[in-house]
Structure 1
Amino acid sequence: MSVSPAHFSLEAVIRPNILALQPYRCARDDYKEGVLLDANENALGHSIPRSLLPSQTISTGSTSVDLLESDLHRYPDPSHDEVKSRIAHLRGLPGPEYIFLGVGSDECIDLLMRICCAPARDKILITPPTYGMYSVCAHVNEVDIVKVPLDVEGGAFAVKVDEVHKAVSADKSIKLVFLTSPGNPTGTLVPLSVITAICEDPAYNGIVVVDEAYIDFAGESNSAASLIAKYANLVVMQTLSKGFGLASIRVGAALAQPALIQILTNTKAPYNISGPTAHLALAALSPEGIAGMQQKASQLITSRASVIAEFDKLQPLGLGHVLGGNHANFVMLPILKGGTGEGAKEPDNTRAQWIYKNMAEQLGVVVRYRGGEYGCKGCLRVTIGSPEENKTMLARLEESLRATLPE
């Protein structure tokens, strides 16, 4: 497969100081065995008594590891190629050289901005409503933000490709375009044809970043990972936090062609992924772990449909139709003014905020208020929980809706 697009130059996108960077290297990059006296580790081992932490054995699919006997006194593998290889295999990529591991996708977001965007000069483009960390990282790195809001008509939340083209044509300082698929908070997929169109836009010599945190709930055929072999200006971000249910260990991945992956690797902090984290990731990415993820994702998808059907029953109480694409493990629903008077069918931020706070503070159910985001007036984002959690949430939501229904 030929590499595209012809107009793209990675060297023109990456900051010159990053291209010239001599990456941090340690002796362990070259020598992993023997009498290891290179890294000033505590040669007598870790200090955790066995009595405080009983055996914690993890099967990684090929071996079993007892965490207390796993060289905790040593710095971890700098590269974690086995973890990368398993992700590459899962996503249909040639090998570990196509994978960068980060402390969650957030590290990938931050690193991409730091390698591409000069502070107070370069910009990113986002498509609100979207994930909030793009803006947070941009502000931390003194990077300006160009916004091309999604088309929210009828709850479509579609990328306006023509508007993105106009923006990147008018402003050559835009180095990164962030797309979220499935969207957060919208749950809407970005069609691969849209991603392809932006990658191939001759007016744009930057990088397209597709955040696929929720892709395991949407189907592998919808992943832009299938486009990486062709497009040198594409990064796909994924995570073990959502479908794999491992939010606590903070493992994210950037998938891209090797030249860009190498630049990310050169720039990251050394040893960013801990040894215990890597062991857990290997277990999750074993055949048994992947099968478990797929089974639970399927169960949550079924539960999602059931919860949406229950939401529909609450419409007489002033609950609107679920918005967005529903391709994630959450749904977004508008709280309406309610009643029979003027504006009864209009979304209502005041009522939504009251319900959000009442459910959290009085009824013990925490959802997410999203009414302040573009196109999300009056909206709550609700994660699909366990069957018992869903039952409780629906009962508490109904109670709160009844308490705020106009006379």
Structure 2
Amino acid sequence: MNFDINKILRENIKNLVPYSSARDEFKGEASIYLDANENAFGSPLDKNYNRYPDPLQYAVKKKISEIKGVPPRNIFLGNGSDEAIDILFRAFCTPGVDNVITVPPTYGMYEVSANINDIAIKKVSLTEDYQLNLEGIAEAIDKNTKLIFICSPNNPTGNSINREDIETLLANFEGLVIIDEAYINFSRQKTFIQELTEYANLVVLQTLSKAWGLAALRVGMAFASEEIIEIFNKVKPPYNINQASQELALRALDNVEQVNSWIRETVAERERLIKELAQLTIVLKIYPSDANFILVKTTNPKSIYNFLVEQGTIVRDRSSVDLCEGSLRITIGTPEENNQLITQLKSFNK
């Protein structure tokens, strides 16, 4: 399949002249900056906070490039992955005309963002073992289908989606296939970012919120072809990642070994927690997980959830989600937190 981005790009985006900021027009060092209407006297916090940040976050992208093995030109940084998701709708989907495909149960922001942008959603539920229904997806695709969203490892189920099934979609779908890999660091599966040169219609989302422990900074990543990244940069607000987030992200990205240590401990705790919970009579099933959480089917999810709240422990009740009936989603905590959870659940006797 020869993918042509112009066939799915909105006409108004093709013709869009992006906002040109002062920091776009001058790159380099100078002794006096009188071009951006900043406060020349400084800020109450730090001298450099009176200046606008790098609009393309080059230093952060360079560091991510070294870690991920992807050129900076193939990286977009967003205000969380949610910004990248929103830009995909705004750049490639015409409101009231186009549609996208989601595969529930999955991350809820795809649907929210579609609704905000007035884009129709075609839902093709996962199979009972939480894999893609390729036949159903093929039947749902029409000439106005622009995007297919796949979360792998999936939220809230925790499992990875079969790689060959995703490759089938990439090879045959004429729109964009978005693979959300927010939890890939905890997975046994390979990331799809190494396939960017193979598939021109591939967009991979990752984040610094999970394994990197930077949820408060709101730094999401999109990896794609250079022409797709150029579209992201054309549509995004000029300064979408603030200076403080860029500085703190750079500091964090120097601590790969610390993050890898946390990942190893999280995975070990995940397996221990699965073994401990499997022994409880209130637990009916624990689904396979490649993430930093597990989906647990229980005898009485609402009562168990409320009981844990009373103990000061908060999990996520997913029992009202299709294909997740009776289930609670439990994030893997520290060993001490996991021990408390197990003790609390052992004392539940309703």
TM-score by length of 1: 0.83
Residues 20-169 of structure 1: pairs in structure 2 closer than 5 A: 20-32=15-27, 33-34=29-30, 35-48=32-45, 68-69=46-47, 71-93=48-70, 95-152=71-128, 156-168=129-141
Q: Which amino acid aligns with 2:103?
A: T
Equivalent of 1:258 in 203, 213, 226: 226
Q: How far apart are residue 255 of structure 1 and its match?
A: 0.2
Contact preservation (8 Å) 2:131, 2:162: no
Residues 174-189 of structure 1: pairs in structure 2 closer than 5 A: 174-189=145-160
Contact preservation (8 Å) 1:191, 1:222: no
| Count of aligned pairs between the two proteins | 348
Q: Which amino acid aligns with 2:258?
A: G
Q: How far apart are residue 149 of structure 1 and its match?
A: 0.6
Contact preservation (8 Å) 1:192, 1:222: no
Structure 2 distance, partners of 1:91, 1:181, is: 18
Q: How far apart are residue 398 of structure 1 and its match?
A: 2.4
Residues 189-200 of structure 1: pairs in structure 2 closer than 5 A: 189-200=160-171
Structure 2 distance, partners of 1:181, 1:255, is: 15
Alignment partner of 1:11 is 2:11: no
Q: How far apart are residue 374 of structure 1 and its match?
A: 1.6
Partner of residue 206, structure 2: 238
Equivalent of 1:358 in 307, 314, 317: 307
**Unaligned ranges ≥5, structure 1:** 49-67, 337-350
Q: How far apart are residue 162 of structure 1 and its match?
A: 2.1
Three-state SS of the structure 2 residue aligned to 1:390 is helix
Equivalent of 1:211 in 180, 193, 206: 180
Task: Name the % identity.
Answer: 39
Q: How far apart are residue 373 of structure 1 and its match?
A: 1.2
Structure 2 distance, partners of 1:87, 1:186, is: 28
Structure 1 distance, partners of 2:346, 2:314, is: 14
Structure 2 distance, partners of 1:121, 1:358, is: 46
Partner of residue 270, structure 2: 304
Structure 2 distance, partners of 1:334, 1:386, is: 22
Moved runs in structure 1, 4+ residues, more than 3 A? Answer: none
Equivalent of 1:332 in 271, 295, 313: 295
Contact preservation (8 Å) 1:125, 1:147: yes
Three-state SS of the structure 2 residue aligned to 1:307 is helix
- Render the CA deviation track for 1:188-213: whole Å, top value 9, x for unaligned: 11233222110111xx3210000000
- Determine which structure has more spread, i.e. the larger CA radius of gyration: 1
Structure 1 distance, partners of 2:110, 2:218, is: 17
Structure 2 distance, partners of 1:370, 1:355, is: 12
Partner of residue 58, structure 1: none
Three-state SS of the structure 2 residue aligned to 1:388 is helix
